[in-house]
Amino acid sequence: MQNEARLLHITGTVQGVGFRPFIYQLAKVHGLFGYVKNLGNYVEVLIEGNKESLDKFVKELPEKKPPLAKVKEIKTKNVHFSGYSKFIIVPSESGVFENSIIPPDTAICEQCRSEIFDPSSRYFHYPFTVCTNCGPRYTTVRTLPYDRENTTMADFPLCPECEIEYTDPLNRRYHAQPVCCPKCGPEIWLSDSEGNVLVKGYEAISHASDLLQQGLILAVKGFGGFHIACNAREEEPVKELRRRLRRPEQPFAVMAKNAAVTETFARLDGGGREYLTSHRRPITVLPRSKAFDLAESVTPGLHNIGVMLPYTGTQNLLFDCVPDAVYVMTSANLPGRPMVVENKEALEKLRGIVDYYLLHNRVIANRNDDTVIRIVNGRAAFIRRSRGFVPEPIELPFELKASIGVGAEMNSTVTVAKGKLAYISQYIGNTSHVETLRYHSEVVRHLIRLTGIEPLYWGCDLHPAFNTTRFALKMGGESTLQVQHHHAHMLALMADNSLPLDSRILGIALDGVGYGSDGTVWGGELFESSYFGHERIGHLLPQPMPGGDLASKIPSRMVLGILFEKLGRAELEKLPLVFPKGAVEFSTVMKQLETGVNVIRSSSTGRVLDAAAALLGICEMRTYDGEPSMKLESAATKSTHTVDLPIIFKKDINSGLPLLDTTELFLGVYELLGKYPPVDLAFAVEESFAKGISELAISLATKRGLEKIGLSGGVAYNNHITSCIARTVTEAGFEFLAHRQVPCGDGCISFGQALAAGLSIKSENKF
């Protein structure tokens, strides 16, 4: 049989996942000769042999690929037969690595996990044990190509035993860049609050476990940053942690050994188990079980809890002595600030917060917070997309010029895009803080360096005071496009659903705040949206916010603003509202409303839901982002009665646009106070609001001949509201669109901005 030769170019996630040794082994199985080499943004394979063997090789390649690999495309062409006598792995070539894909950090695989618990293994009790199929990747990368010398593992030269495994193509640790062992790898140790080393190795982990059981608080260094940990089964350590962090109510995520332990305090039905146990190991927000066997103060006032399983060797070993333990594992950072990543930084910034430190000496090149996922309307919704997913690209249904989106202000991310790929960064935080803005700039530089994409066009928010807006205008100059906040949501939603370039949808944007095209505060909007522009065609009734931003922190202010024009002062004084400064603050708010001084109007959905929580006595103060709305949803899950509230549509007196009258909705609640339990009224507010916004969307979509209705914005995390909108829209014959791969909240804004920037040159007519 005559021999042939074929040249393959394979794109996708093919670096750092054991792809070259897999190709080597597959070629050996089929008796083929040639080579495989990594060219940064693709892998090149030359194979020679008989036609039958070549065909089998090409067929089996995508079928038998390594578990962490993702094959996007295989380009094959026949080439001249050279007559190779063996198959070899060629070292990586340097150069430009555009659209190169480094795999995300993943949980320790079962084989490596077994080794750290096997007394006969040289990896016994060694927490940094990894192989090609698991462990840190993105958090170790300094530059490309992805070889050991370009990662933080360059600080740890391989010992002879590891060198053998690293260089053997038949070994599962072949070219696994983080591979190491107790002889040559990073060290772990336990320190006191002064940085004094108390004990090293497994004994440090074992002692840390004992300290946690004793009720002490520890800092634990992981892949992409530090966690602060304490015993989640006891009230005292959790309350003490809250006191030290000054987080009186914000829910803590917890870590349990496995799904069986998780089921002692949370329900795994409805798809949660799949994500909780996946190799990506996100924090999965699960419904609390009736027999909630944890400290109540872990998630005060909420019906759900964020849970993750161990994903590092250290975390697995922490459960070695106490398998039924459950630990709070919260990110070591102040709200909105970057997570702590350096040992010295941890000792300084966490002083007075933690009692002991479980440290190691592997440098974290890229901080990367935990991903958070919640099942909403039967599908996974990203609250935060980071570890386990970043820097995997989002595939686009069309091509973009090289562009970048720098995000909004809160919950910020960065996106670089070119061609049919968009790379969304890890969670960054609140860029109004100088420290976070500095981190934001670092992420921009690193993402450009990692992907090789030099942006030609910059996208940013319309808000002139955002630090990210100023940054983009400075960096991009005339090539910067300012994108209205909610249109960025719509663009992200459309591309997330792979809609083609000529698509139009009826988009519903529901969130806390977004700078409107008219200079006012938006947050409950209906658009006809395309990739090239948008038209605001409906919205919520703009409500007064007495005291401006204070009304978002003290939702009782919003209640007075909403009901001010309908009820007299005497009636408003009777409302069961709480103000930090009591009657004095009430009088101040009333004066503001009477004079119009220091009052802005907003169509924000978040403010309406916050106000409902305050009126019903469910949440009096906002101590963390989204708290009143989250507690309103939790209260609504306990409802047993159906209560009807008015759904009234009007026209805006200024624009003439149709709107949902939320004042009438609140009057309905006011009239029923004391007649129904707050939980029933909470359910009624969410249900009536969802039906009202759905009916308005259906009416507008029908008039404009639109077949798809989509939902984006932070309110989309509310399962009750989203499910109701989806059901109502679908029953009316429309296709309902929800996010799939990117967050519903402001974590998707940079993605939408990059799309707008990359497409802006394609059309002079923006809509």
Residue 95: predicted pLDDT: 53
Q: 633: part of which helix (H) or strand (E)?
A: helix 627-636
Going by pLDDT thresholds of 50, 70 and 90, the confidence category of residue 38 is confident
User: pLDDT tens digit string along 582-618?
Assistant: 999 999 999 999 999 999 999 999 999 999 999 999 9
Going by pLDDT thresholds of 50, 70 and 90, the confidence category of residue 40 is low
Q: Are 124 and 114 in contact (CB under 8 A)?
A: no
Residue 99: predicted pLDDT: 56
Average pLDDT score over the chain: 94
- Residue of 168 and 254 predicted with greater confidence: 254
Residue 83: predicted pLDDT: 87
What tokens does 455 get? 């942006």
Round to whole Å and give the CA distance between 392 and 425. 9
Q: In what order do the strands lie in the sheet with 87-90?
A: 70-78, 3-13, 43-50, 33-38, 87-90
Percent of the chain whose predicted confidence (pLDDT) is above 70: 97
Q: 683: part of which helix (H) or strand (E)?
A: helix 678-704
Query: Does 100 score more than 60 pLDDT?
Result: no
List of domains in the chain: 3-90 (3.30.70.100), 188-373 (3.90.870.40), 393-484+746-767 (3.30.420.360), 538-544+602-737 (3.30.420.40)
> What average pLDDT does this structure show over 239-258?
97
Query: Does 661 score more than 60 pLDDT?
Result: yes
Round to whole Å and give the CA distance between 75 and 10. 6
User: pLDDT tens digit string along 251-282?
Assistant: 999 999 999 999 999 999 888 999 999 999 99
Query: Does 622 score more than 90 pLDDT?
Result: yes
User: pLDDT tens digit string along 699-755?
Assistant: 999 999 999 999 999 999 999 999 999 999 999 999 999 999 999 999 999 999 999
Residue 101: predicted pLDDT: 66
User: pLDDT tens digit string along 6-36?
Assistant: 999 998 888 778 888 899 999 999 999 999 9
Cut 0.85: pTM above it: yes
Q: In what order do the strands lie in the sheet with 415-424?
A: 415-424, 394-405, 457-461, 480-483
Going by pLDDT thresholds of 50, 70 and 90, the confidence category of residue 763 is very low
Q: Give the ranges where 117-255 is alpha helix by DSSP (H).
A: 160-167, 202-213, 235-245
Q: Are 722 and 731 in contact (CB under 8 A)?
A: no
Residues annotated catalytic, as ranges: 20, 38
697-704 long-range contacts (CB < 8 A, ≥24 apart) are: 697/506, 697/508, 697/526, 697/538, 697/725, 697/729, 698/728, 698/729, 698/732, 698/734, 699/658, 700/506, 700/526, 700/528, 700/537, 700/538, 700/658, 701/506, 701/734, 704/506, 704/528, 704/537
Round to whole Å and give the CA distance between 677 and 385. 37
Q: Are 356 and 208 in contact (CB under 8 A)?
A: yes
Local structure of 586: helix, strand or coil: helix
Query: Does 764 score more than 50 pLDDT?
Result: no
> What average pLDDT does this structure show over 577-581?
95
Task: Number of helices (H) and strands (E) in the chain: give both, helices first.
Answer: 23, 29
Residue 379: predicted pLDDT: 94
Query: Does 577 score more than 80 pLDDT?
Result: yes
Query: Does 765 score more than 50 pLDDT?
Result: no
Phi-psi region of 407 (alpha: psi -120 to 50; beta: other; left: phi over 0): left
User: pLDDT tens digit string along 497-547?
Assistant: 999 999 999 999 999 999 999 989 999 999 999 999 999 999 999 999 999
Round to whole Å and give the CA distance between 35 and 347. 49
Local structure of 434: helix, strand or coil: helix
What contacts 518, CB < 8 A, 6 or more positions away?
none
User: pLDDT tens digit string along 329-352?
Assistant: 999 987 778 899 999 999 999 999
Q: Are 646 and 665 in contact (CB under 8 A)?
A: yes
Residue 170: predicted pLDDT: 86
Query: Does 361 score more than 80 pLDDT?
Result: yes
> What average pLDDT does this structure show over 206-224?
97
What contacts 490, CB < 8 A, 6 or more positions away?
505, 507, 509, 527, 529, 534, 710, 712, 752
